[in-house]
Amino acid sequence: MGMMVEGRWRSDVDRLVDASGALQRPSSVFRNWVTVDGAPGPTGEGGFKAESGRYHLYVARACPWAHRATLFRELKGLQEHIGLSVTHWLMGDDGWTFDPAPGVIQDPLHGAEALWQLYARSESAYSGRVTVPVLWDRQTSRIVSNESADIIRMFNSAFDVVGALDGDYAPTALVAEIDGLNERIYAGLNNGVYRAGFARSQEAYDVAVAEVFETLDWLEHLLSRQMFLCGDRLTEADWRLFTTLLRFDSVYHGHFKCNVRLLVDYPALWSYTRELYAHPAVAPTVDLDHIKRHYYCSHRHINPTGVVPAGPEIDFTVAPDREHAAAWT
Ligand SMILES: N[C@@H](CCC(=O)N[C@@H](CS)C(=O)NCC(=O)O)C(=O)O
């Protein structure tokens, strides 16, 4: 895995694991916000007003953080308002690229061949990681944000004035609860699976994998009693959890060694995952082929042969069987 150093791509730098062998995920650095009137958001600079056709989203289908952003683009009906490019599934020596392959949507704005070129265009002396998702401003040719947590909050409400679909997944009265759930689920599960998978010491792995299954056990208990994480209302917290659950048995169980139990061994969580999967916004955002190939081929330090396993066979379309299953009209 490479990174940029003063505006240039370097493929020879490996910088995510500390001396104890534990994964350190650095914070995102572009933290501006699109707002209704262009006023600054909670972080960053102002000037990014919600306008139809002004912004473009760059994602990898494999990435669970980028997946949040494409989900919110669909949930809020923003496809006509915000363009989309999809990288190649392989994150190799050049990082994320737009090499032609099924499912790749190339860069219509600048014809970038690799994502780092867009980071360099936005900030010529940029040093740091080149991550997806990226929300790009066509007007200033700059990255607005590369933090998925912020991007989905913007998508949730900022574009309502330009014709987004109804639906508030982070209502003010629930924000504190959603933030609390997000924090616990991020640490124990969304990022916990990465901490387990990228650990380079037994100790770091043991700590991470225990937290993954503690978190799943807690979620199973919660979702066997209520429809969604916040009770009866579907919120952002559910969608952020969903992108990790969707990948669990296909990649985190095998590739990241999170193999104490499978998702399908958790009756409530497994049904909940299928219920969310059946939401009409989900199918256009899921590419399990990109997901599996990305993980098993990109992380050669974990899977040196790059061989992608055939299974497991998973059918997300089996009817839900929770007593209080969610259904969509
Ligand atoms: N905090 C970021 C994390 C994004 C992230 O780590 N994306 C991964 C893909 S799953 C990536 O692009 N990694 C490239 C790299 O680290 O060089 C977010 O949630 O948006």
Q: Among 68, 129, 195, which residue has the most ligand 1 atoms within 8 Å of its CB, making it the best to mutate?
A: 129
The rounded mean pLDDT for the chain is 95
Tens of pLDDT along 45-98? 999 999 999 999 999 999 999 999 999 999 999 999 999 999 999 999 999 999
Residue 111 sits at φ, ψ, to 5 deg, of: 60, 30
Q: Among 13, 63, 70, 194, which residue has the most ligand 1 atoms within 8 Å of its CB, making it the best to mutate?
A: 63
Three-class secondary structure of residue 193 per DSSP: helix
Tens of pLDDT along 186-220? 999 999 999 999 999 999 999 999 999 999 999 99
Calpha distance 88→297 (Å, rounded): 12
Question: In this predicted structure, what is the pLDDT of residue 218?
Answer: 98
Whether residue 94 has its Cβ less than 6 Å from ligand 1: no
Helices 236-247 and 288-298 sit at what angle, rounded to 10 degrees?
60
Could you tell me the CA-to-CA distances from 165 to 69, 74, 156, 171 in Å, in that order?
15, 9, 9, 15
Which uninterrupted H or E stretch holds 115?
Answer: helix 115-122
Whether residue 117 has its Cβ less than 6 Å from ligand 1: no
Q: How many CB atoms lie within 10 A of CB 113?
A: 13
- Under 8 Å CB-to-CB from 211, ≥6 apart: which residues? 187, 188, 189, 192, 195
Calpha distance 33→156 (Å, rounded): 12
Tens of pLDDT along 111-133? 999 999 999 999 999 989 999 99
Question: In this predicted structure, what is the pLDDT of residue 6?
Answer: 86
How much distance in Å is there from the Cα of 137 to the middle of ligand 1?
19
pTM for this entry: 0.96
Whether residue 1 has its Cβ less than 6 Å from ligand 1: yes
How much distance in Å is there from the Cα of 309 to the middle of ligand 1?
24
Confidence of residue 294 (pLDDT cuts 50, 70, 90): very high
Tens of pLDDT along 20-46? 777 666 666 899 999 999 999 999 999
Tens of pLDDT along 169-190? 999 999 999 999 999 999 999 9
